Structure 1
Amino acid sequence: MRYTNEQISAALLLLKATGSPKQVIDTLGYPSSPMLYHWRDMYPEYYNVPDQKHWKQAPDNLKQYIIKRCLIDGEPVKLVAEEIGYTPSLIYKWIREYRKKGHFSPMKKTTANVEVNPSDIESAEDINTLKAQMLDMQMEIDILKETINVLKKDPGIDQTVLTNREKAVIIDALKNKYSLPALCKKLDLAKSSYYYQEKAIHAEDKYHELRKKIVQLFHDNRDAFGYRKIHTLLHKLGLIISEKVVRRIMKQEALIVKQRRRQKYNSYKGEITPAVENVINRDFHADNPNQKWLTDITEFSIKAGKVYLSPIIDCFDGMPLTWTIGTSPNAELANTMLENAILSLAPGETPIVHSDRGCHYRWPEWIRLITEAGLTRSMSKKGCSPDNSACEGFFGHLKTEMFYGREWDNCRIDEFIQEVDDYMQWYRRDRIKSTLGGLSPLDYRRSIGVSV
C-alpha cells in the first residue's frame, strides 16, 4: 500500500510528539513498526546516534531550555540529545510531562552539578510561546484522533474537506478540553455555523416513528429486504416517503442484508441417458400459470449435516408450487416433488418441465412420471447454468435471505429442515416482488382471480 505525504506527516508528527511508535500505530492504525522506522531514518532528525551518557537528574531550567530548542526553534530531538548528553527518550518524556502538567516534577536531591549559561534560559515570554506551541500541537493530534475514531475517516484525510456537520461533531468531542474559539479557528468553522450544526445534531428526530417501523419491517421479513422492498411495504401501509430517506435510515440502523457465497451442489453424473432438447431456450416468460416449470436441487451444508431442497418454480410468477426437503439428493426427493406438482394440475394443463442435466432428471422413474402426465421435458446444455438462470436466481434469493449470515452450528437437522420449509411458505405467502406490483406470488394470483 502506498501512503500519501499527509499520512506520513501525520505519523511523524505523532512520533515527534509522543516518542512512542506503539502509540502512533494504535492511534492511526498504520504503518507497521518496520515502516515507521524506515520513515524515521529518511529524515536527519531520526538518524541513529551513538549511545549517550545522561545525568541522573536535570534542573527545570535545563529541561525548559531543551524543550525550547526542540519545539520552538525546531531543532531535531536526537541532535539536541547528542549535544546535551541526554537520551532522546528522556527528552520526549520531559515534553509529555510539560504538556500534561504545565511544569516539571520537583527535582530530587542530587550531587550532579549542572551549569547552564543564563543567556540560554528562555524568558517568560518564551515559556508562554512554548506552551502555546505545545497546546496547538496537542490540539492537532486530538483533532486527528477524533477524525479517525469518531468520524471513521481515513488517517490521511484532508481536514479542509470535512463538512460543517463533521467539524461540529469533532468540536463537541473536544470542547471540554479546548476553548470553542480555538477549535473553530483550527477547523476553519464560523461560530455561527457551529451553533447551527449543534442545533441540527441535537434536534428531535422527525423520523423517530418511521425509524421504528422500518426496523420492525426489516426483522419481520427475515432481515432479507433491502430499502426498495421496505419502501414498497411502507407505501402499502399508506406511509409515503422517499426511497432515499428509507435507504439513509436503514444505513444508520445498520439494517444490511448479509451475503455469503458457498460452493454450489452439482448433481451431474455423466450422460447416463440421452439428453433432450432445450425447449425453454432461456425464455422464462409465461403468460399463464402452469405453462413453464423449472426445477433443480440445492444443497445446504451445516455442522449437523447436509440438507437438500428440490422445488418446482412456476415461470408465470416465480411461485414455488411444491417442494421436498431431505438429507439425501436421491430419486425419491425429486420424484416425490414431481408427483405432488402433477397432482396440482387442472385437466388439460401440460407444462414444460425444465431442468439441468443432473442424474435425478434422467432416471427412468422421472421420465415415466413426465410421460404419463403428458408433460414436456427440457434440459439445459451441459455445464451451462444460465440456461436455468431463473431457478438459480430463486436459490440465490433463498440462501441470501434465509441461510447466509446466520449461525447454524447449534441447529439440528430437523430444526433446519423446518427453517427451510418456513421460508418456502413465507416466500409464497408474504415475500413481495416488484415485478408483481409489490405483491407476493399468492396475493398476485388472488388479485387476478387464479385459484390457489
Structure 2
Amino acid sequence: MSKLSKQDKVEIYHLWHDYQISPAELSQRYRVGRTNISYLLALIGRHGLTILDQPFTAYTSNFKEQALRRIIVEHEPARRVSIDLGLKSSGMLYNWLREYRKNGYNIVNKQRGRQPHDQKRTADQTGKSATQARERTLTPAELEAENRERIRKKIERLSRPADQEPQAAEIAQAVTQLRRELKVSVTFILDAINANPNLPHLSRSNYYYTLKKKDKERDNQEIMAKIKAIYEEHKHRYVYRRITAELRRRGLLVNHKEVQRLMNKLKLFGIVSKRWLKYNSYRSTQGPIKPDLIKRSFSAVYPNHKWYSDVTEIKLKGQKTYLSPIIDGCTQEIVSYTIFRSPNLKQTMDMLKKTWHKYPALNGLIFHTNQGWQYQNGQFQAWLKSHGISQSMSRKGNSLDDGLMAGFFGILKREMFYGFEKQYKNLTELEDAIRDYIEYYNQKRIKIKLKGLTLIEYRKLVLS
C-alpha cells in the first residue's frame, strides 16, 4: 500500500462507497493489487478514515505474540486479525509469522536505530559477498530456470475464485510487474506462462491490447465519477446532453454519445417528460382584447424587450396553489413571480409591482399573455399603459401562442413535482420547493440553446 498517498486512499474509499466502483476497477485505475485494495476498504470500513492518520507504530513483542496466538492457537484468519488490530498491511502479520517460525517459535524484535559503523560495514560486506558468490554460481540456464519459477509462482498467486481463471487484465498487470522485477522481456515472460499447461495463457497482442484498454477504462472511471456527481448535484434532472455541456464547462471535452453510453452503463436516467394540466384562466371577455404582437416569435435580441406571463395551478393532496411568473424572451430567466393559494387580481398586480422595483425603466417592452381574465382587467391594462409597456395577447384557443411560458411550466413540474409529490407534506413545503427551484433555474441550470450557459450568465454575456 506504500504506492498510495493518503489522498489516493481517501479517494479510493469514496469511489467505492459513494459511486459503487468495484475493487477490480480501482485496482486497474491505481495500478495496485486487488487484494491490497480490498484490504484497504475493509480496514477503513472497520476503523474509519482516521486509521489513515495513525502514526508509525513500533509493535512490542507481547503485541506480536498475542496477534500470532490468535492465528496459531485460536485459528482465526490472518486477514481478520490484521483488520481487527488496524495493521496498515496484511503482509505485516505474515512477516511476523515467518520470523516467528524462523527464530524457533520465539518473538525477536529487531534492534531499531542505526547500527554501529563497524557492524554495518561487516554486514554489508557479508551480504555483498554472498550475492556475488550466488551470481557467480548461477549459470545462464539456471538463472533462466529460476526466473521461470518466479513467473510461475507470481501467476499462480493471482487472486481469484477457485473455479475461475484470472482476467486478462490481472495477468497483464502481473506481467508488467515481472518485467520490472526480473529485467526480462515481455516475450520471455509470456513464453514462460504459455508453456505451462497449468497457467492461464495470454498472447502478446492481447497483452498490449489489455494495457491500452486499461488506460481507456481508467479515463472512463474518472468521467463516470464526474457524470454521477453532476447527476446528483442537479437532483437527477440532467440528461446526457446537458451533462455533456456541464462537463465541457468544467474543461473536459467529451462526445455526447460517449456520455450517453456511460450514463446507460451507470443506469442514470434523466426525468422523463409527462403530460401536465395548466390552469385555465379564461372567463369569457372581461375587457378589450389586445392584438398578438409576438406571433410566436418568442426570442428577443436583448433583455427586457419581450416578456411572457401566465398562471399555472399545482394540486397537492386535494389543495391547490397558483404560480404566476414572468419570463424574459431573451435570457429565458424568471424575472419575477408570485405564489397564491387562489387565482386573483392581487397576485397578478403584486407580480408587476415586484418587477417594477427590479426594472424601473421598461419603455418599449412587449408584455405577452393569453386572454385570461386577469390580463383583460382594466386595472392591469392601465398599469401597463402608464409604464410605457405594449400589451400583447394570444389568440383564443391557441395555447402555442404563449408557448415559451407553457414550456417553463412543463420543465418546472417535470423536474420538481411529478413523481416527487410524496416529498411534500403540505402546500407550504411545496411552495418553498417552487421558490428553491426557480432560484436554481435562474442561477445554476444550464441551457443548451444558450451556449451551455446558465440564464444569469447569458444575461451578463448579452449585456457585456
Q: TM-score normalised to the size of structure 2?
A: 0.52
Q: Residues 209-288 of structure 1 correspond to what in structure 2 (within 5 A)? A: 209-259=222-272, 260-288=274-302
Give the deviation of 1:304 after TM superposition.
Answer: 5.9
* Corresponding residue number in structure 1 for 2:94: none
Q: Residues 16-415 of structure 1 correspond to what in structure 2 (within 5 A)? A: 206-259=219-272, 260-303=274-317, 305-347=319-361, 349-408=363-422, 410-415=424-429
SS at the partner of 1:293?
strand
**Residues 1:410 and 1:339: Cα distance change in structure 2 (over 3 Å):** closer
**Residues 1:348 and 1:239: Cα distance change in structure 2 (over 3 Å):** closer
Give the deviation of 1:325 after TM superposition.
Answer: 1.2
CA separation in 2, counterparts of 1:350 and 1:208? 53
Instruction: Give the conservation status (yes or no) of the 8 Å contact 2:302–2:462.
Output: no
**Residues 1:282 and 1:410: Cα distance change in structure 2 (over 3 Å):** closer
Kindly provide the CA deviation profile for residues 34-77 of structure 1, in whole angstroms up to 9, marking residues without a partner as x: xxxxxxxxxxxxxxxxxxxxxxxxxxxxxxxxxxxxxxxxxxxx
> Given residue 258 of structure 1, which amino acid in structure 2 is its aligned partner?
I
* Corresponding residue number in structure 1 for 2:437: 423
**Residues 1:410 and 1:228: Cα distance change in structure 2 (over 3 Å):** closer
> Given residue 461 of structure 2, which amino acid in structure 1 is its aligned partner?
S
CA separation in 2, counterparts of 1:253 and 1:286? 39
Give the deviation of 1:364 after TM superposition.
Answer: 2.4
> Given residue 317 of structure 2, which amino acid in structure 1 is its aligned partner?
K
Give the deviation of 1:409 after TM superposition.
Answer: 6.0
SS at the partner of 1:207?
helix
> Given residue 372 of structure 1, which amino acid in structure 2 is its aligned partner?
S
1:439 aligns with 2:453: yes
CA separation in 2, counterparts of 1:399 and 1:340? 24
Give the deviation of 1:315 after TM superposition.
Answer: 0.4
**Residues 1:401 and 1:410: Cα distance change in structure 2 (over 3 Å):** closer
RMSD between aligned residues = 3.0
Instruction: Give the conservation status (yes or no) of the 8 Å contact 1:298–1:308.
Output: yes
Instruction: Give the conservation status (yes or no) of the 8 Å contact 2:304–2:362.
Output: no
CA separation in 1, counterparts of 2:315 and 2:233? 25
CA separation in 1, counterparts of 2:418 and 2:389? 35
CA separation in 1, counterparts of 2:221 and 2:415? 27
Give the deviation of 1:419 after TM superposition.
Answer: 0.5
> Given residue 351 of structure 2, which amino acid in structure 1 is its aligned partner?
M
Instruction: Give the conservation status (yes or no) of the 8 Å contact 1:350–1:373.
Output: no
Using the aligned pairs only, state the percent identity: 33
SS at the partner of 2:303?
coil
Give the deviation of 1:233 after TM superposition.
Answer: 0.6
CA separation in 1, counterparts of 2:435 and 2:318? 17
Give the deviation of 1:263 after TM superposition.
Answer: 2.5
CA separation in 1, counterparts of 2:401 and 2:382? 24
CA separation in 2, counterparts of 1:439 and 1:379? 30
**Residues 1:229 and 1:409: Cα distance change in structure 2 (over 3 Å):** closer
SS at the partner of 2:231?
helix
SS at the partner of 2:302?
coil
**Residues 1:438 and 1:445: Cα distance change in structure 2 (over 3 Å):** same
CA separation in 2, counterparts of 1:302 and 1:409? 11
**Residues 1:209 and 1:440: Cα distance change in structure 2 (over 3 Å):** same
SS at the partner of 2:348?
helix
Instruction: Give the conservation status (yes or no) of the 8 Å contact 1:311–1:322.
Output: yes
Instruction: Give the conservation status (yes or no) of the 8 Å contact 1:303–1:409.
Output: no
Instruction: Give the conservation status (yes or no) of the 8 Å contact 2:314–2:320.
Output: yes
CA separation in 2, counterparts of 1:443 and 1:206? 30
Structure 1 unaligned segments of length 5 or more: list them. 1-174, 177-190
Structure 2 unaligned segments of length 5 or more: list them. 1-162, 165-200
> Given residue 230 of structure 1, which amino acid in structure 2 is its aligned partner?
I
Give the deviation of 1:253 after TM superposition.
Answer: 2.1
* Corresponding residue number in structure 1 for 2:130: none
Q: TM-score normalised to the size of structure 1?
A: 0.53
**Residues 1:254 and 1:349: Cα distance change in structure 2 (over 3 Å):** farther
SS at the partner of 1:391?
helix
CA separation in 2, counterparts of 1:380 and 1:311? 17
CA separation in 2, counterparts of 1:446 and 1:263? 34
